[in-house]
Chain A
Amino acid sequence: RKEVEQDPGPFNVPEGATVAFNCTYSNSASQSFFWYRQDCRKEPKLLMSVYSSGNEDGRFTAQLNRASQYISLLIRDSKLSDSATYLCVVPLADNYGQNFVFGPGTRLSVLP
């Protein structure tokens, strides 16, 4: 099993729709999680951090299920500007500190 897996996508949704992405991780010791968005030919930008059971920021909600080892990202009332690739990121402790494992990403296209 890969360390971080995500819904393969792409997701094509109409404006105003609600869409949810899932991410599963293999390391049960991971304590914090992150969602990044990456626009085409741009660097990833932090969208949301998840340190406890979840987090909410406006139209975006992240939920963590430690027992099942997955994190979800819910986007309500999708906007055209939400079109991007969404990356699930899980820190992984190693001998040097904490490295980050990036999922392959889920691409979202919000259509007019």
Chain B
Amino acid sequence: GAGVSQSPSNKVTEKGKDVELRCDPISGHTALYWYRQSLGQGLEFLIYFQGNSAPDKSGLPSDRFSAERTGGSVSTLTIQRTQQEDSAVYLCASSLVSGYEQYFGPGTRLTVT
């Protein structure tokens, strides 16, 4: 079946602009996670959604970052007023239920110039 998809695959933006990154999880998966990974670094947790419950936002680095998940499916990660340090690969993953195997999308490579 279809895996996790993310769009765009690459995004170049100017410092100060807002960006939206999209994630389509595997159909039927109730849990959705966002991570970011800078070059040569480990995964940094950002936020996760479990069903219709309030999301765990504890990993968001600043109030410029927000995410929503509509209808328990597609999720959008928004970064406002982008900074150069936001440049990274943003990865989305979904799992049937939180705590079970996660499956990752290919990521969105964000470059802030």
Closest chain B CB from A40 CB (angstroms)? 10
Chain B residue, CB-CB nearest to A94 = B56
Q: Which of A53-61, A74-82, A95-103 contacts B (4 or more CB under 8 A)?
A: A95-103
What is the predominant secondary structure among interface residues of chain A facing chain B?
strand
Given known contacts A97-B53, A97-B98, A99-B98, is B48 in contact with A44 (CB within 8 Å)? Answer: no
A-B contact count (CB 8 A): 60
Most buried by A among B97, B99, B105: B99
Q: How far is the CA of A49 from the CA of B95 in the complex (A)?
A: 13
Q: How far is the CA of A95 from the CA of B56 in the complex (A)?
A: 8
Q: How far is the CA of A100 from the CA of B107 in the complex (A)?
A: 18
Contact surface of B with A, Cβ cutoff 8 Å: 31, 33, 35, 42-43, 45, 48, 50, 53-56, 91, 97-107
Cross-chain pairs A/B with CB under 8 angstroms, 28 sampled: A34-B101, A42-B106, A44-B43, A44-B91, A46-B103, A49-B101, A87-B42, A87-B43, A89-B102, A94-B56, A95-B56, A96-B53, A96-B54, A96-B55, A97-B31, A97-B56, A97-B99, A98-B50, A99-B45, A99-B48, A100-B33, A100-B45, A101-B45, A102-B35, A102-B42, A102-B43, A102-B45, A104-B42
